[in-house]
A = this chain, B = another copy of it.
Amino acid sequence: MSILVVGTVALDTVETPSGKSEDGLGGSALFFAAAASHFSTVHLVGVVGKDFPMVNIDFLKKRNVNFDGMHILDGKTFRWGGKYHEDLNTRDTLFTELNVIENFYPTVPESYQQSEYVFLANTGPKLQEHVLNQVKNPKLVICDTMNLWIQIAKDDLMRLLKRVDILMLNDSEAQMLTGQRNLVAAAKKVHSMGPHTVIIKKGEHGALIMNKGLYFYSPSFPVEMAVDPTGAGDSFAGGFVGHLAKVGKHDDTTLKQAMIMGTVMGAYCVEKFSVDGLIDITWDDILNRYNQIREFVHFDPVT
């Protein structure tokens, strides 16, 4: 089944202890598409400026990412610059140039409106809502957000959450949104806001998924060398939603598998700058890491 994603398409300038990448492909929607397109057809809604190097997304077109909903406007593409600290867990934003993404409220192409899965990648909740309004009858709505929107657009976010099935956010954002330090308590509070399922991402410490009957923990994949964490969460979402759309179900068994697929794609993402870690990998590579994670966490019963 197909996925509609709305989010940012960016050119990122990133400095990490491993080096520097200038004007690399980035943005929540692009990272998501780079990961999810290994699993399913992706319809992308986004906006770039005339300066955007279209040739660089050819690899995504080959993997069934549909760019009919990507608007190319006069002006410059959204740019973000950041510098990561030694341990990669913290970063400083050096600059944010909104450029063409300011006041972007697009019409969704008709060919997108039947998408069964909708992923509202990290961007303003008003834009997320605007796009969701144009999808006819989504089977599942998954939403990512961040501290910025919890701080400056909480009302918009709360209104949107009533229509979201699965919310993903990181542990500090979960605390900020719910006021709860304990993750289980935070998840219960999120349920009361609308989403029946919550995913809490803990970076190098893995991720949790919780709903009424499910508590499942996915460890992180131990990469030999993390080069650039930018986009790891979006890539996780790509593996997660991609797997759900591929299987066409979201029962607990499939949700658990999807969490592991998210973990796999997040790990491939951080091994290179920009989306580079997600370009050349094959389905066998993905399955290989999936099975490795099974080895890492599976153990036998005792009597």
The distance in angstroms between the C-alpha atoms of A87 and B222, with both chains bound, is 26
The answer to whether A256 touches B299, judged by C-beta atoms less than 8 angstroms apart, is: yes
The answer to whether A184 touches B217, judged by C-beta atoms less than 8 angstroms apart, is: no
- A106 in contact (CB, < 8 A): no
**Count, chain A residues at interface, CB 8 A:** 35
The distance in angstroms between the C-alpha atoms of A253 and B295, with both chains bound, is 11
Copies in the complex: 2
Within 8 A of B (CB), among A223-242: 224-225
The answer to whether A181 touches B219, judged by C-beta atoms less than 8 angstroms apart, is: no
Q: Of all chain B residues, which has the CB nearest A255?
A: B299
Q: When each residue 289-303 of chain A gets 1 if its CB lies under 8 Å from chain B and 0 otherwise, what string results?
A: 011001111111110
The distance in angstroms between the C-alpha atoms of A232 and B191, with both chains bound, is 31
The distance in angstroms between the C-alpha atoms of A205 and B218, with both chains bound, is 11
Contacts of A215 in B (CB 8 A): 222, 295-296
- A260 in contact (CB, < 8 A): yes
The answer to whether A253 touches B300, judged by C-beta atoms less than 8 angstroms apart, is: yes
The answer to whether A217 touches B300, judged by C-beta atoms less than 8 angstroms apart, is: no
| Shortest beta-carbon distance from A254 to chain B in Å | 9
Q: Of all chain B residues, which has the CB nearest A219?
A: B217
Contacts of A260 in B (CB 8 A): 299
Within 8 A of B (CB), among A178-218: 181-184, 202, 205-206, 215-218
